[in-house]
Amino acid sequence: MKFFLDTANIGEIKRVARLGLVDGITTNPSLVAKEGRGFKEVVQEICAFVDGPVSAEVIGTKAEDMLKEAGELAQWAPNVVVKLPMTEDGLFACHELSRRGIKTNVTLVFSAAQGLMAAKAGATYVSPFIGRLDDIAADGMQLVRDLKRMLGNYGFETEIIAASIRNVGHVEQAALAGAHIATIPGSLLPALWKHPLTDIGIEKFLSDWNNAALQPK
Ligand code: E4P
């Protein structure tokens, strides 16, 4: 499974990248807005640091605007992936960009039918939003399972990014469901490698070691 970081914060990316855990980045307009810097500056800095795909989202809602923005985004760095909303205009733009060989990530996917449409339109990545579905008492992970099966049935090359991840269970379940990628908020990462029994175990080993070391030989 590939790990993407769902952040636009370069500090966060650098901290996790040193552990060898970062295969790519996803951003969205809300995450970029939090940085208080220019979109281009943020994306180019991330792209220069990360050796992997970096999703940057269009703002336009009309296909024509999306395509114009996509043309610019694709010039910013070779590893930019154009993130498009799951709408009719987004699908049109996705189809056109895939024809031009530009990588796309169709975002805000909340049903299997939407995911199937994105794959059919040539999306490189499709992003089902698990947490936001769970928030409305739906089953976000079932969407990942369904998409994995559907896309597998027909041999689509589109990769599934399990997005809107909120907890460790989401990452584990997405891996079990066979999602190609999990995009994880930086704040959640320590919870993935920490466990209270690990901490207790270390403490006990050290105290046993120190007590033994104090004993006369
Ligand atoms: C995915 O690409 C999105 O940026 C992200 O996962 C959205 O997550 P949220 O629902 O926590 O905002």
Residue nearest to atom 1 of ligand 1 (CA): 163
* Cβ proximity of 124 and 107 under 8 Å: no
User: Which architecture characterizes domain 2-190 according to CATH?
Assistant: Alpha-Beta Barrel (3.20)
Catalytic residue among 2, 62, 83, 204: 83
Q: How far apart are CA 152 and CA 148, in angstroms?
A: 6
Q: How far apart are CA 73 and CA 71, in angstroms?
A: 6
Phi first, then psi, for residue 91 (nearest 5°) are: -65, -40
Q: For ligand 1, is residue 107 a contact (CB within 6 Å)? A: yes
Q: For ligand 1, is residue 26 a contact (CB within 6 Å)? A: yes
CA of 26 to the centre of ligand 1 (A): 8
pLDDT in tens, 55-69: 999 999 999 999 999
Q: Is 83 a catalytic residue?
A: yes
Domain boundaries, the chain: 2-190
Tokens of 2: 């590939």
CA of 19 to the centre of ligand 1 (A): 23
* Cβ proximity of 56 and 68 under 8 Å: no
CA of 144 to the centre of ligand 1 (A): 15
217 residues of the chain, pLDDT tens digit each? 999 999 999 999 999 999 999 999 999 999 999 999 999 999 999 999 999 999 999 999 999 999 999 999 999 999 999 999 999 999 999 999 999 999 999 999 999 999 999 999 999 999 999 999 999 999 999 999 999 999 999 999 999 999 999 999 999 999 999 999 999 999 999 999 999 999 999 999 999 999 997 666 5
Claim: this prediction has a pTM higher than 0.90 = yes
Q: For ligand 1, is residue 39 a contact (CB within 6 Å)? A: no
- Atom nearest to 105 CA in ligand 1: 2
CA of 164 to the centre of ligand 1 (A): 4
- Atom nearest to 183 CA in ligand 1: 6
Q: For ligand 1, is residue 173 a contact (CB within 6 Å)? A: no
The residue among 20, 2, 1, 22 whose CA lies nearest residue 186 is 22
Q: What is the pLDDT of residue 217?
A: 59
* Cβ proximity of 70 and 82 under 8 Å: yes
Q: For ligand 1, is residue 7 a contact (CB within 6 Å)? A: no
Complex ipTM more than 0.90, yes or no: yes
